[in-house]
Every structure is written in structure tokens, then in C-alpha cells.
Structure 1
Amino acid sequence: MQDAAQYTLEEAGADTARLVLSGRLTLANIGPIEPELKRITGPLSSIDLAAVEEIDTVGAWVVCRLAREHNCDITGASEAAERLLAAMRGIDAGGGTRARRLPVWERVPMALGEKVYGARRGIYGVVGFFGQILLGGASLIRHPARFPIKALVHQMELVGVTALPIIGLMSFLIGIVIAQQGSVQLEQFGAESLTVNLVGRITLRELGVLMTAIMVAGRSGSAFAAQIGTMKLTEEIDAMRTIGVSPIEVLVIPRILAATFMMLLLGFYASLMAIIGGAVVGDLTLGIPFVTFLLRIQEVVPTHDLWVGLIKAPVFGLIVALAGCYHGMQVRGDSEEVGRRTTMAVVSAIFAVIVLDAFFAVFFTEIGWG
């Protein structure tokens, strides 16, 4: 074709050649010869564009790439072609553009400063959110008729009743593991009977409530963040504010109260299921009858161990609900933010629960409940 791009190689010296391009070096015409131009391996002395009828940005980029690869000059270009070539020179053949990477002694302090600044903003946000909850609670106390009792009951069902099977199974298996592994270790000292003490104290005091809090964080805390975050994206929360309904009163407070109250019951329920699991292992492998195991629990476990678990449970529930609702209310932008905030809600809730559990362990030991 007359308009097709063409090329020829002419000898320019003993070991070099001159590449002569002709026709139309445009996007529509350069395709057939571009793979052949890539395969040219011999050294080129120059690239001649005198016979080129038309050239566009793609053609100029191909010519500049060839000139750069063979370290040769471009000759015979028209004024219009020269302008395109000048614009294409210096562009990386790979098409990548990367910002200059700062040295490590600058990147690390900058990253640390950003984290500190982000933590400061997070603290301000949490304090402000907690203040909104206090104001919303005070408003409901002044106007009890506005209290969303149906929403509270619904959330209690979702957080507590529907979680009974999974938490019961998890706690039962944990009790089995504690009893089995504990008895193996105690057997070395001839103290298998102390398995009852081990199962009773560790489940009522620590693992029953802690594992339940982690399960509730992954199950209900994530649901709080996702539900409220989706409502933020669909502008339902803005619509509620427009008609004079407080999202804190309708969405946040029922979830916090439900998680706080139901965590108390779930923690106690989880401890009982763990003890039953331990009793099953005792009956099957240790020769301790099932009823005897349960009666021994009452004798060897101090009452304050039960109170330790019951005190920690609602605090853990409050933390989980606060994390889920807070991150849900912080959703901005697009649906990707919902997933990110949901993940942050679960991670921050579990982290806070473990930190508080360590604090409670030290506190109760200091007051003589160790």
C-alpha cells in the first residue's frame, strides 16, 4: 500500500547501516513493521525520516526508542516531525514513571510521624464519638419514650441468641483441649486430679470470657461496622439526620447495650460449656465421674474467680461494640472503605480486649483475687 509504513536498511559503513523509513508512521500503519524494527540487531549509524509522509505520536515514540536503543541520530525529519520527536525524547521505553525514593533515614521518621499524627486523630475521633454516645444516652434518659426498645431486643437476639451454638461448640472444645493437655502434664507429677482445678479456674477466670469476646468481635463487631458503614455510603444516616432522628440513639446505643449485656451472659455460658467439655474428658479418660467433676468444681474454684469473669465480660462487650460502631461511622468514600473499616474494627477490638485482659489480670492479683 502507498500509505503503509516501510523501511529499508542501507549500508553506511563496514559494520553499520542506515535505517530509512518511508510512508505513514502512524498508529494505523506502523503496526506491521514495528515487530520487524524490534528485531534489528546490527548497529545503526542513523535513522532517516526524509521519505516519511506523515508521523504521529506513536510513530515518533517508535523512532525515538530505536534511536535510543542503537545510540544513533535521527535525520531528515520535517518541522512537525521534529516537534513530536522532541516531545517523545527522554520517555522511558518501559512506560513506567516512578517518583524518586527518599533515603531510609528520611522515610522512617516521616512514616513514624504520619503514624503518630494518625493516632492523634484517632484518639480525638474516639473521644468525640464517646461524647456523642454520652449525649445521646442523656437525651434518651430525659425522653424515655424515644428509647428504641425494639432495636435493642433485635440486637440482643443477633448478638446473643444466634451466637449460642458457635460459642457453645467453641467453648466445649476448648474445655476438652484444656483437660486433655493439662492431664497429660499433671500426670508426670501424679496430680491428675488437679485437672479439675485447672479447667475450672482457667475457664471461669480467663479463657471463657476472653475467647467469647474474640468471637463476638469477629462476629458482631464486624457486623456493626459493615452495617453502619453501608448505611453511611447509601446516605441513610444523612437522611435520618435530615428528618431529625439521631443515628447515635437509633443505631449505636442499642448495639452497645446489646453487646454489653449479652456478653455477660455469653461469657458465663461459655465457661459452663468449657467445664462440661472438661468433665467429659475427665469421665472418659481420667476416671473422674461426670457428676463428681462438676461437684469438685464447686469446691476447688473460689467464688471470686466467677466474679472476675463476670466483671470482665461486660467491659469486653462494651469495647467490641464501641470499636464496631465507631469504625462504621467513620466510613467515607466508596465500598472499599467498608471492608477496610470492618477489618480495623475487628483488629482494634481484639487488641483492646487482650490489653484490658492483661490489665485486669494484674489488677485482680493486686487486690488479692489472684
Structure 2
Amino acid sequence: MSVDFSQTDEDGRCVLRFEGALTMLRARRLSDELAAVRADDIVVDLSGVERMDTVGAWLIHKLERDRGATVTGASDEQRTLIEHVAQADKPITVRRQPEPLIYQFVGQVGAASVTAVTTLVGLLGFFGSLCLSVAQIFRHPRRFRFNAVVQQFDMVGIHALGIIGLMSVLVGIVIAQQGAVQLRQFGAEIYTVNLIGRAAMRELGVLMTAIMVAGRSGSAFAAELGSMKLNEEVDAMRIIGISPMESLVFPRVLATLLMMPLLGFYAAILAIVGGGIFTWASLDMPPITYVQRIREVIPMTDLWQTLIKAPTFGFIIAMAGCFQGLLVEGNAEEVGRRTTTAVVQGIFLVIVLDAFFAVFFTQIGWP
């Protein structure tokens, strides 16, 4: 059923009468016919309209808005529909107006600050939950998952020996080469050994190891726990009475905490070995002389610093990886995002803590 449209003149006014169904079926043709009407004073009579949809209401509203038409004979439902269409008739900005740069900068700084504070509070809460889980394990030793810890030893430590060893040897060679080039200008190439020994044992060994573990194990923790969270395995564990903190988080944190001192010492020794290879090949220093010099220039306090910093770094890396993994929600894309965040967060916290330890050890007389 279509609409019948007629035009008459009554008392000097143009009367447009509609009969039938004022719907979308004749919208295009009716719109062209209404555009052809040439009159200033228009009256729209809807008393003969049996049915009206949104498109028909829009045509009537357009006559009211653009040509000042007066609508008569409309039922309550039709009048309500026309009013709703009129309320929705608002200008739309298709392209978002760019904000001033200062507003963008302040907004980004504010969002980053809120995220940082929220993450810090979340990490503290996660640490508290882990402490409660450790207390429960001490109260009930049978809940300790020895096999899970050993499995994480293998993943965090044994499988990382190759890449960490290669990296440490190359870093030692680079330190020796760059140090020798600079010290040669002052005729002090012999002190290259001092540079290699102190830098490798005190800083670079444990720091490079922590960065490697964060990129390797921290990301693995986040991806594993994130996938389990996405597949609702974590929720299933809670339902059957198994604590995810005890069965998933604690073994990973404990394994990383215990393996980091060993990996850090291992990396420092191989960095020293790499520096020794360079000094033997480039500076003609015999290996025996190099070893003797290393024993003389490295104080015991450097080893203690490595053994203190390494477990702290391992604990932070494992905490960040597990924390971000358990925050995964929604879809697989969230797993990748949280994994990246875990690596960045772990490396950032390691560098911040390393700076803190440097100041602290200097203050207590371990320069």
C-alpha cells in the first residue's frame, strides 16, 4: 500500500494531503515531489494517513524544519514519532576535532600516572596474596608442589644456560675491547683486567642475566598463566579447591628466586672468561696472569652484591610475569599485550632496583 499525495490551495495557503501509508517504499519519489512544491505557507494534512514509519516521519519533519509547514490531522502516535525524529535531528561531527597539544600531553601523562599507581597497588596486593599462600604452605607442608618447582628449575635455569652463557661471553669481549681502546690512550691497558672484573662481577653479569630472564621466563609466565586464564582453567582450579597462587604462582616465583643467583654468578664468570680470551688474543696477556689479576682486583663485596641483587631481581621478574598473566581477560590479543607489559615492567623494575642498590651499597661502604 502506497501513499496518495495531493496539493490544493485553500484561503491562499498550500495544503498537502497525504493518504494511505507514508513509509519508506515511496520515500525517494515523494521527496522529489515535495521538493517541486513552490509555496511559502504550507499546511500538511495527515488525517488520511493510515501508517507511518521513521522515513515518513522524517519527510514531514523536514517540511516543518526547512519550510515552516504546519502539520494537522496527525494521530498521537504519528505526532510522537515525528517528535522523536525531530529530537534525533542533531548535527554530527564526522571527524573529531583535534585537541590542543598541551591537552593531549597532560591527558597522556595523567593516564600513565593512573596506570602506574594502579599497577603498583595491584602488585602490592598480589604480593600480599602470595605471602598468605606461603604461610598456608608452611602450615600445611604437604601442599608444597615439589615437582612443579623442579620443572620450573629446568625451564628457568637449565634451558637458559646456553643463551645466557653466549651473551655473557660476548659482553665480556665487548667490555675488554672497548676498555682496552680507551685505556690505550693513557698507556694503562693493564687496567683492562680491572674494568672487566669489576664490571662483570658487580653489575653486568647479574643485570644482563635479569634482563634475559625477564624477556625469556617472565614472558613465558605471563603467556602461560594468561592462556590458562583465558581458557578458564584458573577458575576451574578455584572451583575444585586448588589455589592458583599455591599451584601456579609460588613454584614459578620460588624457582626464579633460587635460580637467579646461580645464573648471575654463571654469567659473571663467563663474562670474565670472554674478557680473558680477548686480553690473551689482543693484549698478549697469559691466562695465568689474567686469573691472578682477576683474583686481586675483585673484592669479596662484589660477589656479595651479585648474590644479594640476583634473588631480588628474580623475585620481581617472576612477580611481574605472574601478575600480568592473571590479569588477562577477553581474548587472545590480551595475552600478547599482557606478555609485553610483563617484560617491560620486569626490566623497568630491575633497572630501578639496580640503581637503588648502587646507591645503597655505596652508602654502606661497598663501592
> For residue 324 of structure 1, what is the aligned residue in structure 2?
321
Pick aligned residue for 2:305 from 300, 308, 331 = 308
Asked if 1:268 is matched to 2:265, the reply is: yes
> For residue 221 of structure 1, what is the aligned residue in structure 2?
218
- Which one has the largest radius of gyration? 2
More displaced stretch, 339-348 vs 94-103: 94-103
Q: Secondary structure at the match of 1:312?
A: helix
Pick aligned residue for 2:94 from 96, 107, 111 = 96
Letter of the structure 2 residue corresponding to residue 295 of structure 1: Q
The 5 A counterparts of 1:49-68 are: none
Letter of the structure 2 residue corresponding to residue 96 of structure 1: V
Asked if 1:165 is matched to 2:177, the reply is: no
Letter of the structure 2 residue corresponding to residue 256 of structure 1: V
Q: CA deviation at 1:272?
A: 0.7
Cα distance 1:296–1:117, how it changes in 2: closer, same or farther (>3 A)? closer
The 5 A counterparts of 1:1-370 are: 96=94, 98=96, 104-105=102-103, 108=106, 112=110, 115-116=113-114, 119-120=117-118, 122-123=120-121, 125-370=122-367
Mapped to 2, the partners of 1:357 and 1:122 lie a distance apart of 18
Q: CA deviation at 1:295?
A: 2.1
Deviations 1:30-75 (A, max 9, x none): xxxxxxxxxxxxxxxxxxxxxxxxxx999xx9xxxxxxxxxxxxxx
Letter of the structure 2 residue corresponding to residue 278 of structure 1: G
Letter of the structure 2 residue corresponding to residue 247 of structure 1: P
Mapped to 2, the partners of 1:278 and 1:111 lie a distance apart of 43
Mapped to 1, the partners of 2:337 and 2:317 lie a distance apart of 17
Deviations 1:232-269 (A, max 9, x none): 11111111111111110000000001001111110000
Q: If the length of structure 1 is used for normalisation, what is the TM-score?
A: 0.74
Deviations 1:169-204 (A, max 9, x none): 011000000000000000011100100000000010
Q: CA deviation at 1:290?
A: 2.2
Q: Secondary structure at the match of 2:175?
A: helix
Cα distance 1:100–1:309, how it changes in 2: closer, same or farther (>3 A)? closer
Q: CA deviation at 1:293?
A: 1.1
Q: Secondary structure at the match of 1:287?
A: coil
Mapped to 2, the partners of 1:229 and 1:119 lie a distance apart of 22
Deviations 1:278-330 (A, max 9, x none): 00100110111123212210111111111111111010000000100111111
Letter of the structure 1 residue corresponding to residue 231 of structure 2: T
Aligned residue-pair number: 342
Letter of the structure 2 residue corresponding to residue 186 of structure 1: L
Name stretches of at least 5 consecutive residues in structure 2 with no aligned partner. Answer: 1-23, 26-52, 59-73, 75-82
Q: If the length of structure 2 is used for normalisation, what is the TM-score?
A: 0.74
Cα distance 1:57–1:167, how it changes in 2: closer, same or farther (>3 A)? farther
Q: Secondary structure at the match of 2:257?
A: helix
Deviations 1:323-365 (A, max 9, x none): 0011111112222221111111111111110010001001111
Cα distance 1:88–1:194, how it changes in 2: closer, same or farther (>3 A)? farther
More displaced stretch, 187-196 vs 102-111: 102-111
Cα distance 1:244–1:362, how it changes in 2: closer, same or farther (>3 A)? same
Q: Secondary structure at the match of 1:315?
A: helix
Q: CA deviation at 1:369?
A: 0.6
Deviations 1:200-243 (A, max 9, x none): 00010001100100010010001111111111111111111111
Name stretches of at least 5 consecutive residues in structure 1 with no aligned partner. Answer: 1-26, 29-55, 62-78, 80-85
Mapped to 1, the partners of 2:182 and 2:95 lie a distance apart of 61
Q: Secondary structure at the match of 2:322?
A: helix
